[in-house]
Amino acid sequence: MKRMIIFATALLAMAPLVTTPLSGALANDDGKDGAKGKLGLAGLLSAQNRETLPKLTLSAGTPLAAAPLTLKSGRYYKLSIEADGSQELALEGPGFFRAIWVNEIVIEGIEIRPLGVDSLEFDEAGEAEISFIAIKPGSYHLKVPGTTGELQTVAITIE
C-alpha cells in the first residue's frame, strides 16, 4: 500500500511536466516566423542552430588551427578536417569526442553515423567533415598523437 501511495504521488508530481506545452527554444516551431532563439522542426539540428567552424589542417610542420575554438553547449556544429598528404597523421581527442554527440562523419560522400569516436587517421590526402552537437561544458583538445608542440594541438572550450 505504501508503495502505491509513493507511486501515485510521483505520477501526480510529474503530471504538470507531461501536460504543459514546451515553450521558448524547445517549442515545436515551424521556423517560418524567424523568431530568434526558436528552433525549427529539426530541433537542435535545425539551420538556426547550426554553425560551421574554421577548418583544421593536418600537415607536417604547420599549425593545426589558427586559434582555439569556443563552442556553446546545445549548438550544432560542422567541423572540416583536411589532410594534405605530406605525412600520415591522425587527430585524437577522446575527452572532446565524449563531450559531444556526433551526428555524422562524412568522408568522400560516405556518411558514417558512429556510436563513438576516439580519433581519425589520414594515411593520405583527404577531407572529413564531422557534424555534432556540443554537450558537456569544459576544456578539451584535439591533437596529433605523439606530439608535444602547441602547433599540433587545438584547444576547445565548450561553454
pLDDT, one tens digit for every residue, the chain (159 residues): 454 444 444 444 444 444 333 334 444 444 444 455 677 787 888 888 999 999 999 998 889 999 999 999 999 999 999 999 999 999 999 999 999 999 999 999 999 999 989 999 999 999 999 999 999 999 999 999 988 888 899 999 999
Angle at 115 between CA 127 and CA 66, to 5 degrees: 35
pTM of the full predicted structure? 0.73
Q: Reduced to 3 DSSP states, what percent helix, strand and coil does the chain have, rounded to the nearest 5?
A: 20, 35, 40
Calpha distance 109→149 (Å, rounded): 32
